[in-house]
Chain A
């Protein structure tokens, strides 16, 4: 298991290669990559992601441990960036490794749902007109109910 909260970019290909080789009885890996999306007017200059140092790592680790136990995962990886990011940049990745695909898919979705609304990150979008804090989406909160 690994959780990394970092300013720097990462190489998802290398990360997945390392991840695949971590346990020999893995039959399925699901990975998710989150990208800085431009808005409909294409006016996004950059995004600033603020975090709560100390709590971020702890909160994510708690959900990773829960996922590993609940779906008997062989391994799980979360990398989440903070700081200044530009349209098209990678924000984060999640990977889960299981013996079978169902557990890998389910646990990856679980982790994504929890990262969305329970990991202490706040996104600020800087556009040509000014800036605004990205508001949380009610659907994201609701999607936790299914777990």
Chain B
């Protein structure tokens, strides 16, 4: 099981702050494709990946990052701290 988290407008478009998933996806990109197959709300949220960032186990990474054994994946728009 992997915990998938969503923040800011990604959370609003998908409708939940997080969900637990059973997945065979080997990379973040494969997970995104798997989610997009599920329901339209995922297609909407993931329609433009250049507008999104991803973190695997709370470390920022690229969409081609491997998931092997990861506990947590988070999707969110570019951060606006400070």
Give bound CA distance, A91 to B55, whole Å.
24
B12 smallest CB distance to A (angstroms): 9
B68 smallest CB distance to A (angstroms): 20
B74→A52 contact, CB < 8 A: yes
> Which residues of chain B come closer than 8 Å to A122, judged between CB atoms?
7-8, 76-77, 79-80
B81 smallest CB distance to A (angstroms): 4
A123→B58 contact, CB < 8 A: no
Known A55-B55, A55-B58; contact A136-B82, beta-carbon cutoff 8 A: no
Known A50-B7, A52-B55, A52-B58; contact A119-B82, beta-carbon cutoff 8 A: yes
A119→B8 contact, CB < 8 A: no
Q: Which of A26-72 contact B (CB under 8 A)?
A: 34, 50, 52, 54-55, 58-59
For the complex, is B5 an interface residue (Cβ under 8 Å from A)?
yes
For the complex, is B78 an interface residue (Cβ under 8 Å from A)?
yes
For the complex, is A135 an interface residue (Cβ under 8 Å from B)?
yes
For the complex, is B60 an interface residue (Cβ under 8 Å from A)?
yes
The bracket for how many chain B residues form the interface is 10 to 19
For the complex, is A76 an interface residue (Cβ under 8 Å from B)?
no
For the complex, is A118 an interface residue (Cβ under 8 Å from B)?
yes
Give bound CA distance, A80 to B82, whole Å.
8
Give bound CA distance, A120 to B10, whole Å.
14
Partner of B82, one of A50, A91, A133: A91
Known A55-B58, A58-B58; contact A118-B79, beta-carbon cutoff 8 A: yes
Q: Which of A78-92 contact B (CB under 8 A)?
A: 80, 91-92
B80→A121 contact, CB < 8 A: yes
Q: A: which residues have CB within 8 A of B?
A: 34, 50, 52, 54-55, 58-59, 80, 91-92, 112, 115-124, 133-136, 141
Q: List 21 A-B contacts (CB under 8 A).
A: A52-B5, A52-B7, A52-B58, A52-B74, A55-B74, A91-B82, A115-B82, A116-B79, A116-B80, A117-B78, A118-B60, A119-B79, A120-B7, A120-B76, A122-B8, A122-B79, A122-B80, A123-B80, A124-B8, A133-B8, A141-B78
